[in-house]
Structure 1
Amino acid sequence: MKRTDSLVFRLTAMVFILLAVTIAVILFLVNSQMDTHFTQYLQMAPRRGMGMGHHMMRGAAELQYVESIHRSLLWVGLGMTVISVGVSYIVVQKLVRPLLSLTEAVRSVQEGKFGQTVPVERMDEVGILAKTFNDMSTELEQNETMRRHLFASVAHELRTPLAIIQGNLEGMIDDVIPANKKMFLSMEDEVLRLGRLVQDLNDLSLAEIDKLVLHKERADINILLERAVSMLQPLCDEKELTVRLHLCPELPNVSIDVDRINQVVYNILNNAIRYINRGDTIAVTTERAVKEGKEYVLVSIADTGNGISPEDLPHIFQYFYRGEKSRSRKSGGSGIGLALAKQFVVSHGGLLDVESEVGKGTTFYIYLPLG
């Protein structure tokens, strides 16, 4: 970058020009006023030559006095200009210094070094810009971390069924494992699980870019919930869980993709059944609600389980995030269910919120828009 292209140089030059013009105008006016008032003074003085021309009233002493005043004003003007340029340069440089730090940080981010921040020393426009950059850089770092975690999680989830299929096939080829119907069914289960994971990832990507195709129809949300609870009743009976339905009979039908919302309800109910203790209770409630000026059908699914820790709660809708880190199939699924549920609800123009308190339970709120 050329020196003349520098913002410091341009602002200093602009301030210099403005001050120089201002000082020149002031000096011109002062000189003009001084000449006028000095001439008036001489006209009022009782001197010989009174009433003669303007130039005849000024002797050598008067001319020397006027010239000395002019020189003094000229030097004062030059001094003020030099001082103003120096002060403006210092002020402009101090103003621009945070921008130089910000430029270096932007270059670091451009090179892929996310998380770079700059000090925020003041809260003017430059300070707000620095704070906004810091927030952006931090978010980019978090997104990069999530991206790496996502790749690692996808690789982990794909590796298990592929390893099982490969092991079984190699065993059959080497005549170590019998090639019977039971083994083929076991391999089919792994293929289906792999296919479901790929389909879920595809649905998530489409939902995030608002390209997910929804086949909407008018449906009674109460009937949908009753069917979901009925289908999961054997799992509840196995853990001796109590499921209570509190369904508002006066709810209007909502325009939804029944299959997608069914998947949302199943994911949330399955999580509740999986993680709460034997003998706990699940309550499913429906009602009309108004949130941020919009009218919704609100579905609440509350359990009396152990709750979610405050450290895990902000992350439960992230891909492959699980509070239980071992990722064992016995304790949970892949960790994609809640992320998928949130995207499906958002694709309907709704909201999915959660509240949880350790030792008291967790409540999911599904807001489906009316109208």
Structure 2
Amino acid sequence: MMSRSLAFKLSLAFLLVSLVGIALVAFLAGRVSANAFSNFADAQSDSLLMEQLVKYYEINGSWDDLDRIGIGGVGPGDGQVRPFLVIDNQGEIVLGGLGENIGNRVPRGWLNRGTPILVNDERVGQLIFAEGMRRGAGLQPPRNDFAVQVNQTIFLAALGATAVSLVIGVVLARSLTKPLQEMTEATQAVAQGDLTQQVPVRSDDELGQLAASFNQMSADLSYARDLRRQMTADIAHDLRTPLSLILGHAEALSDGVLPPTPETFDVIHDEARRLNRLVEDLRLLSLVEAGELTLALRPTSPRSLLERAALAHTPAAQQKQIELALNASTNLPDVLVDPDRIAQVLDNLIANALRYTPENGRIELTAQPRQTAVQLRVRDSGPGMDSDELANVFDRFYRGDKSRQRHEGGSGLGLAIAKSIVENHDGRIWAESASGQGATFIIALPLASG
């Protein structure tokens, strides 16, 4: 189905209404004007007939030999039957017609439909037409009557066209305003907290696009609300666990249940550090998303970034018997970054890779140039991720392995922080993976010269 814009539909609607109005006016005016003109012509002929009769009587002073001259377009002896007749004041026919002959008297009922023939304001006879034919007092010239009929016809046609146009306009207006009304009601419901609202998409024009955008917005708001609730629950859980351990050990020490050994203090210290790390991650994430994180940007070698990260994590990799390999050229173009912040991103990615890569596995760090960026890659040989995990891996507090204990999986904020930091560098970060084939995290950083 071809998409048509709202402007096109409105223009088409206005054109349709105009055409219907014009066509209706033209049809009614033409039809009635034709009838009015026909009546006008008949009346004009009747008026001329009356003038002929009056003039004849004025000249002759009587109706004698009236049938010997051509009256009303019918001459003597031409065999035509007149659609009228003329009588004198005594009711005697002086000009035959309507099947009646001269000298006869017309039926009394015919006198009621006769038109007086006046000469010097004196009635000298009557003109009688066939039943149903036009009659008028004095048969005055009908020009004014014709103009009045035409004007009345045009006026009535205009009223009819207005009514039809109004009906069409109302129908078209309802078809346009109904989606807006539905969207208004849905918007009011969203304002009151109902984020499940969806409106039907009835067309492919601007209104349809607006409805689709509203539905997407409502779905995103609903998802954000659910994510916020889940984040609040996760924060509460992650804060409660170390606090409970710290309080429990502190109370046990105070009550003498636990001896004040270095091991006991180590547990309290580790949980306090974990709690401090979570709070610091939340603070950093809020700064990054608010655009308040200060970046010290400078041209930096991509290889030096990877070397620094590999050196920092080599001991942990050796402890798990994991090969940590670096494969990056020394002549790569510099990238414009804050080295410390990008190091934080790489530390997070490598730590995740170490967490999921089994013993005797492999983690490879590479760098590849692109047109306007350099891509840093962290590839592991772990179990990989499915499509659902790829779609949510950068969400706050998301953990791909639900069975893993929280203290083993970090705070769940590392990848969210990494994404925010990279995007603050005008870069991109994403993950590629297939289940059972490891995962690759890719960072695209802008060139220093670009």
Q: Which moved more, 1:123-132 or 1:235-244?
A: 235-244
Q: Which residue of 2 aligns with 1:5?
A: none
Instruction: Give how far 1:81 is off.
Output: 1.1
Q: Which residue of 2 aligns with 1:238?
A: 319
1:182–1:150 distance in 2 versus 1, CA, 3 Å: same
CA–CA distance in 2 between the matches of 1:185 and 1:70?
106
Q: Which moved more, 1:144-153 or 1:88-97?
A: 88-97
Q: Which residue of 2 aligns with 1:300?
A: 377
- Are the aligned partners of 1:287 and 1:297 in contact in 2 as well (CA < 8 Å)? yes
Q: Which structure's CA Rg is the greater one?
A: 2
Q: Which residue of 2 aligns with 1:271?
A: 352
* 2:429 counterpart SS class: strand
CA–CA distance in 1 between the matches of 2:363 and 2:221?
39
Instruction: Give how far 1:100 is off.
Output: 1.2
1:329–1:79 distance in 2 versus 1, CA, 3 Å: closer
CA–CA distance in 1 between the matches of 2:188 and 2:177?
17
Find the partner of 2:187 among 70, 94, 106.
106
Instruction: Give how far 1:330 is off.
Output: 6.5
After TM superposition, where is structure 1 displaced by more than 6 Å over at least 4 residues in a row?
45-49
CA–CA distance in 2 between the matches of 1:191 and 1:240?
29
Instruction: Give how far 1:115 is off.
Output: 2.2
Find the partner of 1:141 among 222, 227, 245.
222
Find the partner of 2:288 among 207, 212, 234.
207
Q: Which residue of 2 aligns with 1:185?
A: 266
Instruction: Give how far 1:361 is off.
Output: 1.7
TM-superposition CA deviations, 1:18-70 (whole Å, max 9, x none): 97xx87xx89xx89xx8xxx8xx99xx99989xxxxxxxx9533433332222
1:309–1:267 distance in 2 versus 1, CA, 3 Å: same
* 2:394 counterpart SS class: coil
* 1:367 counterpart SS class: strand
Q: Which residue of 1 aligns with 2:198?
A: 117
1:160–1:327 distance in 2 versus 1, CA, 3 Å: farther
Q: Which moved more, 1:148-157 or 1:119-128?
A: 119-128
Which residues in structure 2 correspond to 1:360-371 (within 5 Å)? 360-371=437-448
Q: Which residue of 2 aligns with 1:286?
A: 367
CA–CA distance in 1 between the matches of 2:368 and 2:297?
21
CA–CA distance in 2 between the matches of 1:123 and 1:336?
40
Matched, 1:162 2:243: yes
CA–CA distance in 2 between the matches of 1:327 and 1:143?
25
* 2:304 counterpart SS class: helix
Tell me which amino acid in the other structure corresponds to 1:121.
Answer: R
CA–CA distance in 2 between the matches of 1:167 and 1:78?
89
Find the partner of 2:330 among 236, 242, 249.
249
CA–CA distance in 2 between the matches of 1:329 and 1:100?
48
Runs of at least 5 residues in structure 2 that lack an aligned partner in the other structure:
1-9, 52-138
Taking structure 1 as the reference length, the TM-score comes to 0.81
Instruction: Give how far 1:329 is off.
Output: 4.2
Matched, 1:315 2:396: no
CA–CA distance in 2 between the matches of 1:287 and 1:369?
12
- Are the aligned partners of 2:321 and 2:360 in contact in 1 as well (CA < 8 Å)? yes
CA–CA distance in 2 between the matches of 1:284 and 1:232?
12
- Are the aligned partners of 1:308 and 1:357 in contact in 2 as well (CA < 8 Å)? yes
Which residues in structure 2 correspond to 1:40-119 (within 5 Å)? 60-119=141-200
1:114–1:302 distance in 2 versus 1, CA, 3 Å: same
Percent identity of equivalent pairs: 37
Which residues in structure 2 correspond to 1:220-239 (within 5 Å)? 220-239=301-320
CA–CA distance in 2 between the matches of 1:158 and 1:259?
27
* 1:232 counterpart SS class: helix
- How big is the alpha-carbon RMSD for the aligned residues of Structure 1 and Structure 2? 2.8
Instruction: Give how far 1:332 is off.
Output: 1.9
Higher percent of residues as helix: 1
- Are the aligned partners of 1:115 and 1:138 in contact in 2 as well (CA < 8 Å)? yes
1:73–1:254 distance in 2 versus 1, CA, 3 Å: closer
Instruction: Give how far 1:215 is off.
Output: 2.9
Instruction: Give how far 1:331 is off.
Output: 4.7
Q: Which residue of 1 aligns with 2:427?
A: 350
CA–CA distance in 2 between the matches of 1:217 and 1:62?
97
Tell me which amino acid in the other structure corresponds to 2:246.
Answer: I
Instruction: Give how far 1:169 is off.
Output: 1.0
- Are the aligned partners of 1:309 and 1:357 in contact in 2 as well (CA < 8 Å)? yes
1:74–1:225 distance in 2 versus 1, CA, 3 Å: same
Q: Which moved more, 1:150-159 or 1:328-337?
A: 328-337
Taking structure 2 as the reference length, the TM-score comes to 0.67
* 1:69 counterpart SS class: helix
CA–CA distance in 2 between the matches of 1:267 and 1:261?
10
TM-superposition CA deviations, 1:216-267 (whole Å, max 9, x none): 3443332332232233223222333222221111023433322221111111
Tell me which amino acid in the other structure corresponds to 2:395.
Answer: Q
CA–CA distance in 2 between the matches of 1:329 and 1:137?
32
Q: Which residue of 2 aligns with 1:340?
A: 417
CA–CA distance in 1 between the matches of 2:351 and 2:447?
26
Q: Which residue of 2 aligns with 1:128?
A: 209
CA–CA distance in 1 between the matches of 2:213 and 2:333?
44
Instruction: Give how far 1:327 is off.
Output: 4.7
- Are the aligned partners of 1:327 and 1:333 in contact in 2 as well (CA < 8 Å)? no
1:81–1:340 distance in 2 versus 1, CA, 3 Å: same
1:80–1:213 distance in 2 versus 1, CA, 3 Å: same
CA–CA distance in 1 between the matches of 2:225 and 2:338?
33
Instruction: Give how far 1:362 is off.
Output: 1.2
- Are the aligned partners of 2:333 and 2:369 in contact in 1 as well (CA < 8 Å)? no
CA–CA distance in 2 between the matches of 1:118 and 1:64?
60
* 1:132 counterpart SS class: helix
CA–CA distance in 2 between the matches of 1:180 and 1:305?
39
CA–CA distance in 2 between the matches of 1:254 and 1:69?
86
Runs of at least 5 residues in structure 1 that lack an aligned partner in the other structure:
1-10, 50-57
